[in-house]
């Protein structure tokens, strides 16, 4: 007997793919901001990067809610 797998409907699969891509983009931006913050010597630059990291964390929380 062959096992079968039911593929998700088009809109469901598209939404899941978009959410995964957004999560990856936020994670990459978070990582880049963190590394830039380590190299930044200027206080203002570090503060701007900290705010960017906080906003990326907020975006990640929203993405998690959308994925549920």
pLDDT at 1 over 80: no
- The pLDDT, as a whole number, for residue 8 is 67
- The pLDDT, as a whole number, for residue 2 is 65
**Domain layout of the chain by residue ranges:** 11-67
The DSSP result for 1-68, as a single string, is -----PPPPHHHHHHHHHHHHHHHHHHHHHHHHHHHHHH---HHHHHHHHHHHHHHHHHHHHHHHHH-
pTM of the model: 0.69
- The pLDDT, as a whole number, for residue 35 is 86
Q: Which residue has the higher pLDDT, 40 or 55?
A: 55
Predicted confidence (pLDDT) per residue in 2-51, tens digit: 677 776 678 888 888 888 888 888 888 888 888 888 887 888 888 888 88
């Amino acid at each position: 007997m062959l096992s079968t797998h039911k593929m998700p409907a088009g809109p469901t699969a598209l939404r899941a793919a978009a959410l995964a891509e957004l999560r990856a983009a936020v994670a990459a931006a978070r990582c880049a901001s963190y590394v830039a913050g380590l190299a930044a010597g200027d206080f203002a630059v570090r503060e701007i990067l900290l705010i960017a990291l906080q906003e990326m964390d907020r975006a990640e929380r929203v993405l998690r809610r959308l994925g549920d």
